[in-house]
Amino acid sequence: MSKPSGQVTELLTQVGAIDTDQLAQQLMPLVYNELHSLADRYLKGERKSHTLQPTALVHEAYLRLVDQSRVNWQGKTHFLAVGAAMMRRVLIDYARTRGRAKRGRNWQRLQLQDELLGHSGGEVDLEELSEALDGLAALDQQQASIVELRFFGGLTVEEVAHLFGVSKRKIEGEWTHAKAWLRNRLAGAADS
């Protein structure tokens, strides 16, 4: 385990025992670059005119992360996976606010340039995708985390395997199952 990962894990075990502001100040330098990289990858799938910038996304998600007093943190990997989920939620909240501000206009649609839908170039409603991921998380939290890290975070199978401490083959299998489940769920949403 690298020294920064060890420091992150040690700090996360102190959640609830130390002041949230103190935790935030100590933890941020250790995870900022990785969270910013995730935010960059998230926002690459957004429209060009999106007003939320990666730094703002990181800060909003980070504030939500360090305020999680009920989470039993399992280390840096867990923290980054939850960070990816928080960023997705920040984007959903942002899209909902913009939707209300525009008086009922369509929700933001993401152009999926990934194999998530089984073909490139498909569009999916951001809220539908979020609901589908929440459904997947209820069935298999690890698969949902893998999707968030791979699809939204842009991590490779090897990087996800390293973060979870499992084999590349294990992640490939989980990724395949998760994509199939999401394709089925999103196709059902499109039909209704």
Residues forming a β-bridge with 109: 125
pLDDT-derived band at 97 (thresholds 50, 70, 90) equals confident
Within 69-141, strands assigned E span 109-112, 122-125
- Grouping H, G, I as helix, E, B as strand and the rest as coil, residue 15 is strand
The C-alpha atoms of residue 113 and residue 94 are separated, in whole angstroms, by: 22
Same domain as 192, residue 159 = yes
pLDDT-derived band at 140 (thresholds 50, 70, 90) equals very high
The CATH number for 180's domain is: 1.10.10.10
Same domain as 192, residue 110 = yes
The whole-number pLDDT of residue 93 equals 83
Given 104, 126, 152, the domain boundary residue is 104
What residue type is assigned to position 22 of the chain? Answer: Q
Q: Which secondary-structure segment (H or E) carries 104? A: none
- Select from 73, 28, 29, 41 the least CA-distant residue to 151: 41
Given 104, 120, 147, the domain boundary residue is 104
Given 104, 119, 145, the domain boundary residue is 104
Total structural domains in the chain?
A: 2
pLDDT tens track for 62-87: 888 777 766 677 777 777 877 888 88
The whole-number pLDDT of residue 107 equals 46
- Whole-Å CA distances, 143 to 16, 47, 55: 28, 26, 27
Same domain as 100, residue 140 = no
Buried b (16+ CB within 10 A) or exposed e, 8-41: bbebbeebeeeeeeebeebbeebbeebbbbbbbb
Q: Where is mean pLDDT largest: 34-48, 65-79, 165-179?
A: 165-179
88, HSE (Cβ side, Cα atoms, 13 Å): 25
Give the global pTM: 0.64
Q: How far is CA 80 from the centre of its chain?
A: 8
Question: What are φ and ψ of residue 47, in 5° steps?
Answer: -65, 155
Same domain as 138, residue 81 = no
Higher-scoring residue by pLDDT: 108, 185: 185
What residue type is assigned to position 124 of the chain? Answer: V
Same domain as 150, residue 130 = yes
Q: Which domain holds residue 181?
A: 106-192
Q: What is the mean pLDDT of residues 143-159?
A: 82
The whole-number pLDDT of residue 151 equals 76
